[in-house]
Amino acid sequence: MRFEHLGASPRIHPDAVVASTAVISGDVEIGAGCQILHGAVITAEGSPIRIGAHVIVMENALIRASAVHPVHIGDHVLVGPMASISGAEIEDEVYLATGSRVVNGARVGRGSLVRTNAVVHLRTTLPEGTVVPLGWVAIGDPVQLLPAAEAEAIGAAREELDFPGYVFGLDRSAPDYMVQLTERYGSALGRHRADRPAD
């Protein structure tokens, strides 16, 4: 299903195939030869999403642009089932395996492989041809590749990246942090109230 959001409707190349149960919302451009499979959600929440040619977005994957973080996906990219991309840049010929996550401000270099359930964290840059092992976390710039078992090192690197400040503009130490987060984010998401089917 396609939706107009914030006055913008999806633009899908006539050669692309979009499953009837996929949701495409807002300022989204999908290139030639793309395959968007059942249950995929591609939603531009204030910034654009640009998907190149011959990209496959598999079942139940999520691609989301935030108000300040657009998404750009190059050509010949495979986004695996239940993978998610939020406000990030994915260069050509990248494979994001099942359940992988790429977080706001990240950049995944050409020919990289992010294996099953791996994470490319906030503001992280993966150089061309990087492989992030199964379940590992890529974090920082320059990047560190850490197994999930190294929770302390990952936590220390995450603190420096300041997820709530970078993504939501909030101070996590504020006593009403979750009140601010849910009210601000909820208000922004409330803009969907005016969405209209674009099919």
C-alpha span between 60 and 11 (Å, rounded): 20
Give per-residue pLDDT as tens, 19-60: 999 999 999 999 999 999 999 999 999 899 999 999 999 999
Amino acid at 12: I
C-alpha span between 186 and 184 (Å, rounded): 5
Q: What's the predicted TM-score (pTM) here?
A: 0.88
Percent with pLDDT over 70 in the chain:
99
Strands 17-18 and 35-36, how do they pair? parallel
pLDDT exceeds cutoff 90 at 178: no
Q: Band the pLDDT of 151: cuts 50, 70, 90.
A: confident
Beta bridge partners of residue 125, listed in sequence order:
107
> How many domains does the chain contain in total?
1
What is the predicted pLDDT for the residue at 169?
83
C-alpha span between 104 and 70 (Å, rounded): 9
Q: What is the mean pLDDT of the chain?
A: 92
Of residues 154 and 108, more confidence is placed in 108
Q: What is the mean pLDDT of residues 16-20?
A: 95
Give per-residue pLDDT as tens, 78-89: 999 999 999 999
3-state secondary structure 118-180: CEECCCCEECCCCEECCCCEEECCCCEEECCCCHHHHHHHHHHHCHHHHHHCCCCCCCCHHHH
Backbone angles phi, psi at 186, to 5 degrees: -60, -40
Backbone angles phi, psi at 169, to 5 degrees: 70, 35
What is the predicted pLDDT for the residue at 102?
98
Q: Band the pLDDT of 156: cuts 50, 70, 90.
A: confident
pLDDT exceeds cutoff 90 at 183: no
Q: Which residues contact 69 (CB under 8 A, 6 or more apart)?
A: 47, 86, 87, 88, 104, 105, 167
Amino acid at 169: G
Q: Which residues contact 18 (CB under 8 A, 6 or more apart)?
A: 2, 12, 24, 30, 34, 36
How many contiguous H segments (helices) and E segments (strands) does the chain have?
A: 3, 24
Give per-residue pLDDT as tens, 106-126: 999 999 999 999 999 999 999
Give per-residue pLDDT as tens, 130-140: 999 999 999 99
Of residues 167 and 176, more confidence is placed in 176
CATH number, domain of 29, equals 2.160.10.10
Q: Which domain holds residue 35?
A: 2-197
